[in-house]
Amino acid sequence: FYTPRLSPDNRWVATCARSGPVSWRLFILPFRADGPAPSERDWIAITSDNSVRMACRWSPDGSVLYFTSERDGSTCIWAHRLDPASKRPAGDPWPVHHAHSVRLSLAGVGPINFTIALPRGARSPRMVFPMAETTGNIWMAELR
């Protein structure tokens, strides 16, 4: 498991689980402070493909799960609405922020340094996350 995140109501954990050497899937598990860990049959799959990039975050009210995914060929931020009671996916995921630029990307930020912050109480929806900027120059010199 990687980047486990406790839900705002402290009843669920969203986490990435390794599904291959370099692939991950996103799951929600019931959280039991006093009791055994949930069995695999209790895991709720949020993503059906192996494109998750190891970062997830609950919305402040717990109704949406935000995550990074390479489902469109670039590392982008996606969201999936959740059923309020069961936390099962409701509908299809949608892109929140595309990062398809070579110069400015999410892929350049390592998984240890990447997180999504969602401030509570903002007048308009806001999200804070790091991006990497890659630039280069070509220098020419005249040989004598």
Per-residue pLDDT of the chain (144 residues; tens, 9 = 90+): 777 889 999 999 998 887 777 677 889 999 988 877 788 888 898 887 777 776 789 998 899 999 988 888 888 899 999 999 999 999 999 999 898 888 888 877 877 778 888 877 656 678 888 888 888 889 899 998
SS3 state of residue 40 = helix
Distances (CA, A) of 21 to 24, 44, 113: 9, 21, 20
Q: Which residues pair with 105 in a beta bridge?
A: 132
Q: Which pTM value belongs to this model?
A: 0.83
Rounded to 5 degrees, what angle do the CA atoms 39, 42, 44 make? Answer: 130
The string over 79-105, giving b where at least 16 C-beta atoms fall within 10 Å of a residue's C-beta and e elsewhere, is bbebeeeebebeeebeebeebeeeeeb
Are 101 and 82 in contact, with CB atoms under 8 Å apart?
A: no
